Amino acid sequence: MTERLQVYYKIRSDASSIEERARGIAIEQSIEAPLAAIRDPRVLSDIVGEVAAIEDQGGGWFGVRIDLASATVGEDAGQLLNMLFGNSSLYDDVVLDDAVLPAALLRAFGGPRHGAEGLFARAQAEGRALTCSALKPQGLPVEQLADLAFKLALGGLDYIKDDHGLANQSFSPFEDRVRACAAAVRKAAALTGRRIRYVPNLCGDLGQIERQIGVARSEGVDTAMIAPMIAGVSTLQALRQAHPEFAFIAHPAMTGAARVSPYLFARLYRLFGADASIFPNPGGRFGFSQACCGRIVEALCGPLDGLRASLPVPAGGMTLQRVPELLDYYGRRAMLLIGGALLSAPPETLVKETAAFVRAVSEHSYK
């Protein structure tokens, strides 16, 4: 028996046909050919996916575990995604729910370089959660984004990130934006004596992103955001490998939460090297449940063969009023991201509002 990944799907099916459906998906996600076409006995024994368990979950849905050969992944993040859900994503009645990866595969990818602890150390934060806000909206010229960054930095946040809608558009090209925002944050640091990290959003192909990293590094930036399902999961893997001094924050854009569970993406992003991962907190603009977010936190911080933990970054319509509740739930080990709600403050009170957010996090009575 070769080493296997355990992959969990939810399949909508009649009870009478679930076994055949499950076998069909085991074949689709491995050899993708009729068994009659397989003549090599090693392929039959080692490579063909195996239906390991079928469980009736009620309501016409079945939980199915399919075991796939580790060797099919070839240590590439994209190919892992392909093995987990490539063709089966085309079925409208199949959801990719979870996956357990063997230790050798976990070690091959390696997980976060810095992880949650690295982000805390960089921020010199002890005994409290981290704070973050976002530069938005897209469409603002560079000067206005830099002005926002300056004010948010004066307010004392740990991290200030680009909105994930800021790419390399003509209204705020990447290089101009990063130079201006990094300078604005340095200017604030010179006033407050406190270093704050500006986190640009990487976009485009790997070649373009490598040039963006170069610009960012030349401005003293050491943390960047990337949406792996937009840029490609192998791109994150390559960046982790090539830039060990950089920390990466993963954004959940295009993860299609209705078809692939958010906690699986959280674990995969951790595996591929995300030091922190953004996800929608319950009660914001998205419909994630508390239970789902609990599993996301477990995926990011739970034991994973010695891999570093990724820092949970609950977001998506959070407000200052909810800070105590968020901290009671997530504790110290999180970065709270409040974007639009802070920016809704009048410009003249933005620094004060931001400082109130920072204070609420630092003065919270953590349980």
Burial of 119 per CB tally in 10 Å (0-12, 13-18, 19+):
buried
CB 350 within 8 A of CB 152: yes
Q: Which residues contact 111 (CB under 8 A, 6 or more apart)?
A: 270, 271, 273, 304, 307, 308, 310
Rounded to a whole number of angstroms, the minimum distance from the CB of residue 363 to a second copy is: 26
Rounded to a whole number of angstroms, the minimum distance from the CB of residue 11 to a second copy is: 13
Q: Which is nearer to a second copy, 63 or 256 (CB)?
A: 256
Q: Which is nearer to a second copy, 122 or 177 (CB)?
A: 177
Rounded to a whole number of angstroms, the minimum distance from the CB of residue 69 to a second copy is: 7
Q: Which is nearer to a second copy, 6 or 138 (CB)?
A: 138
Q: Which is nearer to a second copy, 220 or 340 (CB)?
A: 340
Q: Which is nearer to a second copy, 147 or 158 (CB)?
A: 147
Q: Which is nearer to a second copy, 182 or 343 (CB)?
A: 343
Rounded to a whole number of angstroms, the minimum distance from the CB of residue 162 to a second copy is: 11
Q: Kindly report the length of the chain.
A: 367
Rounded to a whole number of angstroms, the minimum distance from the CB of residue 200 to a second copy is: 14
Q: Which is nearer to a second copy, 107 or 192 (CB)?
A: 107
Question: Please, which contacts does 139-146 make with residues 24 or more away whose CB atoms are closer than 8 Å?
Answer: 139/171, 140/171, 140/172, 141/171, 141/172, 142/172, 142/173, 142/176, 142/177, 142/180, 142/181, 143/180, 145/172, 145/177, 145/180, 145/181, 146/177, 146/180, 146/181, 146/183, 146/184
Rounded to a whole number of angstroms, the minimum distance from the CB of residue 241 to a second copy is: 9
Q: Which is nearer to a second copy, 123 or 323 (CB)?
A: 323
Smallest CA-to-CA distance from 140 within 347, 279, 280 is with 347
Rounded to a whole number of angstroms, the minimum distance from the CB of residue 177 to a second copy is: 11
Sign, CA torsion 355/360/361/365 = positive
Rounded to a whole number of angstroms, the minimum distance from the CB of residue 63 to a second copy is: 18
CA distance 293 to 90: 26
Smallest CA-to-CA distance from 2 within 32, 38, 39, 47 is with 47
